[in-house]
Amino acid sequence: MKHLLARLMLVAAFALPAHAVDVDEVPLDDPAKEAEARDLMKEVRCLVCQNQSIEDSDADLARDLRVIIRERMAAGDDTDQVKAYLVERYGDWVLLKPPVAGRTLILWGSPVLILLLVAAGLLLRRRAAPPPPLSAEEEAKLKALLEAAEADEKEPRG
């Protein structure tokens, strides 16, 4: 028990956030640019693990891509230019958030389309012809039922 605190401290010492950005990767000198590069890394898909960003991934290729992003940004490219560089080689898939463009119209448009279809369906239902009026026989039946219900309510409950 007396070592508990020491043990906890030991655990805390090793419980640093797991981060894939390697120690041998040199951050950019300009902190603002480094922050921009880091933001971009979060948007770039690791092509080996596919559902991770290269910022998260330990894969070799992810590391290479991080190095390239920093290199290009140090050379004066802005994030759009770096993105274009990556898309040229790996296609739109390399971006975790695909761009809005003609070829991605179905992807981005489908939620709107479904919403419109549902709205149209609901409107059509509303506009459907009202039910035909009750016949004399049905009116009489309804009246009898309502009266019976009223009489029922007036009676004291036992």
Partner 1 sequence: MRGPWVFLPLAAFVALVALMGAMLLGDRNPAEVDSALVGRAAPTLTLYALEPGGEPLVPADLRRGVPVIVNFFASWCVPCRAEHESLMALAGEHKVQIIGIAYKDKPAAARAFLEELGNPYDKVVLDESGRAGIEWGVSGVPETFVIDGDGMVRYRHWGPVVGDALETRLLPAVEAAR
Site residues (vs partner 1, CB under 8 A): 47-48, 50, 60-61, 64-65, 68, 87-91, 93, 124-125, 128
Query: 28 or 49: whose CB is closer to partner 1?
Result: 49
Query: 71 or 147: whose CB is closer to partner 1?
Result: 71
Shortest Å distance, C-beta 23 to partner 1:
19
* CA quadruple 44, 48, 50, 55: dihedral sign: negative
Smallest Cα–Cα separation from 57: which of 42, 40, 68?
Answer: 42
Query: 25 or 30: whose CB is closer to partner 1?
Result: 25
The strand pairing partners of 44, in sequence order, are 95
Shortest Å distance, C-beta 75 to partner 1:
15
DSSP 95: B
Could you give the CA distance from residue 37 to residue 60 in angstroms, rounded to a whole number? 18
